[in-house]
Amino acid sequence: MKIVVLDGYTENPGDLSWDRIAALGELTVYDRTPAARVVERIGDAEAVYTNKTPVTRETLERCPGLRFIGVLATGYNVVDCAAAQERGIVVTNIPSYGTQAVAQFAIALLLEICHHVGRHSDAVRQGRWSQCEDWCFWDYPLIELAGKTMGIVGLGRIGQATARMASALGMRVIAFDGKPCAAGKAVAEYVSLDTLFEEADVVALHCPLLTETKGLVCRETLAKMKDGVILINNSRGQLIVEADLAEALASGKVYAAGLDVAETEPIAPDSPLLQAENCIITPHISWAPKESRQRLMEIAADNLKQFLGGHPVNVVNA
């Protein structure tokens, strides 16, 4: 079996091994593939892996040998799944590989907002502490989280992991989810979305991007939140109307935002959030610790192995 990885660099910039996938066939790995070369590089391969390189209906029509598409991520909108299903091509994704990493990053964004550790370290290196007349100094208000309320929108695996971490910091945790479950009830108090917006000192988004959640955080919903609320989003950028958030940051309605995602990725150069005060933006890296990417690699290999054995798993277009 010929196997092609279209854009392997993000998943594996050189610190992991492709050996488990290579053991399943004749493997070719490309760091990146421009759209104009996707068909050429797939060629007569039967299996292809992609992270963010689109696999369109036209590509599938021009690559008749394809039997398997493995998405090297949880989200699979880069593949025309309907067209793949029509042609009998199995499409798989990688669920649950980064739960702890993504939850940890959400808390990291929050702690950076509360303490500005990086900026204060820079100030020390610039000599400002050495030159200070006082025993210590700080440039930003420092925030203690114990006793404050964390509101989590989306209480799936990642939301639950974030809830446990927030509880360990002494926070009260409330949550909204369309499908309450026993595991969620064990770590948070379910409330209505309006109640969450009204009571939360910190709002963390851990919900999927659906028709009903696109633009969830907008001028109308921001108005329902506490003055000085902190917003954390390392789920999907399109959950937020960026212009409305920038406006709320400028007015002080939102004290600060910690974002690992953007409406357009990479972020558009004219995004209003790039000029917003008290807005931390990181380049969609919550999922990227080596341990998390190793799990992703192992699941990706197992997806193909199970497919070849006649028992496909993690299929998203069945």
Over the stretch 7-42, which tens digit does the pLDDT of each residue have? 999 999 999 999 999 999 999 999 999 999 999 999
My answer on whether 83 and 208 are in the same domain is no
The per-residue DSSP string of 164-214 comes to HHHHHTT-EEEEE-SS--HHHHTTSEE--HHHHHHH-SEEEE-----TTTT
> Are 108 and 73 within one domain?
no
Q: Are residues 80 and 161 in the same domain?
A: no
Nearest partner of 47 among 314, 311, 305, judged by Cα? 305
297-316 pLDDT, tens digit per residue, is 999 999 999 999 999 999 99
Same domain, 119 and 254: yes
What pLDDT sits at residue 318? 87
Q: Are residues 255 and 117 part of one domain? A: yes
Q: Please write the tens of the pLDDT for every residue from 111-167.
A: 999 999 999 999 999 999 999 999 999 999 999 999 999 999 999 999 999 999 999
Residue 81 lies in a domain: yes
Structural domain includes residue 215? yes
* 253-261 mean pLDDT: 98
Q: C-alpha angle 69/70/72, rounded to 5°?
A: 145
Residue 180: pLDDT above 90? yes
Active site residues: 236, 265, 284
Residues 192-219 have pLDDT tens digits of 999 999 999 999 999 999 999 999 999 9
Amino acid at 177: D
233 occurs within a structural domain: yes
Q: Is residue 315 one of the residues assigned to a domain?
A: no
Contact 113, 279 (CB under 8 A): no
Do 82 and 218 fall into the same domain? no
| 125 Cα distance to chain centroid | 32
pTM of the model: 0.94
In a domain, 317, yes or no: no
Q: Are 24 and 18 in contact (CB under 8 A)?
A: no
Beta bridge partners of 233: 205, 259
Q: In angstroms, rounded to a whole number, what is the distance separating the alpha carbons of residues 145 and 166?
A: 9
Q: For residue 11, count other CB atoms closer than 10 A to its CB.
A: 21
Amino acid sitting at position 184: G
Helices (H), the chain: 19-22, 38-42, 57-62, 81-86, 99-115, 117-125, 157-168, 182-185, 193-199, 219-224, 242-251, 290-308
Q: Is residue 18 part of a domain?
A: yes
Do 273 and 130 fall into the same domain? Answer: yes
Question: Number of folded domains in the chain?
Answer: 2
How far is it, in rounded angstroms, from Cα 71 to Cα 94?
7
Check which CATH number belongs to the domain holding 192 and give it: 3.40.50.720
Residues 296 and 239 in one domain: no
Q: Residue 318: inside a domain, yes or no? A: no
Q: What is the side-by-side strand order in the sheet with 229-233?
A: 189-190, 172-176, 149-153, 202-205, 229-233, 254-259, 279-281
- Both 72 and 145 in one domain: the answer is no
Regarding whether 209 and 106 lie in a shared domain, the answer is: yes
Same domain, 131 and 240: yes
Non-local CB neighbours of 273 within 8 Å, separated by 6+ positions: 242, 245, 246, 249, 257, 259, 262, 267, 279, 281
Mean pLDDT of 277-291: 97
The answer to whether position 239 is within a domain reads: yes
Structure token digits, residue 295: 């799990």
> Domain range spanning residue 183?
99-281
Asked if residue 112 and residue 89 are part of one domain, the reply reads: no
Q: Which residues of 224-236 are buried (b: 16+ CB within 10 A; e: fewer)?
A: ebbeebbbbbbbb
